[in-house]
Structure 1
Amino acid sequence: MFELDHVVYFTTKNPQQIVEQEQIEGIHPVKGGQHLHWGTYNALFYTKNSYIEWLAVEDENIAEQSTQPLVKQLLYDIVDDEGFASLCLRSNDLEKKNRYFKKMGYRTSGIIHAERKTDSGELRKWKMLFIDHKINHTLPYPFFIEWEKSIEERYASLREDGTIKPENEELAIKRCIFHVKNVEEKLTHWSRLLSLPTKGNTLKLANTTFVFEEKLDSKERLHTIEIVKG
């Protein structure tokens, strides 16, 4: 079963502004780093097994030339407003998942190799996979990630450098709430993609629940997340 790796919030603020702004709200975000090939940078807030990523354009020229699907969606969405945009699910074998999705009839991006340069100069590496979809007002599918290191290794390193504090690991992203125009249609599409049964208007993952709510007068996007202790 898939697990939520992170949710993505598109913003025009730089990582330092996010760190200062969100600390006032009582949480502990940190500056993430730069995606040098995409022209973007981020701030991050970790919970016990997933995190929030605030993603912004650092170099518009590089970003506009990028073919990376999330960067293309960022440039499309940020014209209207800041807000939650998409989410990423964790896998330990993206090559196998890619073959499975193609067998199911989906077109994919193929495996994308990625890296982020942290403030300390460290390179963190991962692989990504996107389901092809038109970037418009309809709900984008989740995308997928396979980290170079296991979650245990990553979290041990993040504890050591102070990115994750004990209070971070007391929290969890319990629910991800999507606003869509046709709840049944989106449930059917996502249930098929993720091989998950539906229950009412929800899909249950290993570490969170997806909730689909009807909203006819807005873009179809991830709208809200609920963070709880436990």
Structure 2
Amino acid sequence: MFELDHVVYFTKKSPTEIAQEVSVEGIHPVEGGQHLQWGTHNALLYTKNSYIEYLAVENEDITTTSTHPLTQQLMNDLAFREGFGSVCLRSENLEEQNRYFQKLGYRTSGLLESERKTKNGAVRKWKMLFIEHKIDKKLPYPFFIQWENADDERYAMLREDGTIQPENEKLTITKCIFDVQDVNRKMTHWSRLLSLPIKGNQLKLGNTVFEFRQSKDTVERLQAIEIAKDN
């Protein structure tokens, strides 16, 4: 079963501004680093087993010419709104997932090698996989990630460099709420893609719930997330 790895929030603010201005349950994001090949940079707010990524343009010359699907969506969305843009699901075997999606008839990006240079100069690496679709105001499919390091090793490194403090691990993203124009149609597509049963207007992942709400807005996006804090 898939687990939520992170949600992506598109913003025009710099990681420094986000780290100073944003607070979730009294916890501030940290400056993440740079994606030099995409011309973007980010701030990150970790929870117990997922995180929020605040993604912004750092070098517009690079970003506007990038063919990376998430960068293209970033530029598309920032033309009319700031806000949640997409969700990323964690996988332990993206090659197998890619074959499965293609067997279902989806066209994919294939596995994309990715990396981020952190503020202290360390390099984090991972692989990504996207379902090909038109980038517009319709709800984008989730994309998928496989980290170079196992989760426990990755979190240990994040604790060591101060990205994750004990208070972060008291937080959990319990629900992601999507506003769409046709709930039944969208849920059918996502249920098939993720091999998850439909329960009412929800899909239950390993560590969170996806909920779909009817909306008349022409913009279909992740609208909100719910976060619980351990006492």
Q: Could you tell me the TM-score, scaled by structure 2's length? A: 0.98
Q: Answer yes or no: is 1:140 the counterpart of 2:145.
A: no
Q: How many angstroms does 1:65 deviate by?
A: 1.0
Shift of the 23–191 alpha-carbon distance from structure 1 to 2, 3 Å rule, reads: closer
Report Cα offsets for 1:123-158 as digits up to 9, x if no partner.
100000000000011100000000000110011111
User: Is this contact kept in 1: 2:20–2:28, CA < 8 A?
Assistant: no
Aligned residues: 230
Distance in 1 between the 2:27 and 2:141 partners?
28
Distance in 1 between the 2:92 and 2:6 partners?
15
Distance in 1 between the 2:30 and 2:126 partners?
19
After TM superposition, list the pairs within 5 Å mapping 1:30-179 onto structure 2. Answer: 30-179=30-179
User: Is this contact kept in 2: 1:28–1:168, CA < 8 A?
Assistant: no
Distance in 1 between the 2:218 and 2:154 partners?
37
Shift of the 56–100 alpha-carbon distance from structure 1 to 2, 3 Å rule, reads: same
Distance in 2 between the 1:24 and 1:181 partners?
29
Partner residue, 1:17: 17
Q: How many angstroms does 1:60 deviate by?
A: 0.6
Shift of the 223–105 alpha-carbon distance from structure 1 to 2, 3 Å rule, reads: same
Distance in 2 between the 1:159 and 1:118 partners?
14
One-letter code aligned to 2:209: T
Unaligned runs of 5+ in 1: none
Distance in 1 between the 2:25 and 2:191 partners?
35
Q: Equivalent residue of 2:61, what SS?
A: helix
Q: How many angstroms does 1:92 deviate by?
A: 0.5
Distance in 1 between the 2:147 and 2:46 partners?
16
Distance in 1 between the 2:18 and 2:67 partners?
26
Report Cα offsets for 1:66-94 as digits up to 9, x if no partner.
11000000000001111001010000100
Q: Equivalent residue of 2:75, what SS?
A: helix
One-letter code aligned to 1:36: L
Q: How many angstroms does 1:27 deviate by?
A: 1.4
Unaligned runs of 5+ in 2: none
Q: Equivalent residue of 1:65, what SS?
A: coil
Distance in 2 between the 1:40 and 1:115 partners?
12
Q: How many angstroms does 1:25 deviate by?
A: 6.8
Q: Could you tell me the TM-score, scaled by structure 1's length? A: 0.98
One-letter code aligned to 2:3: E
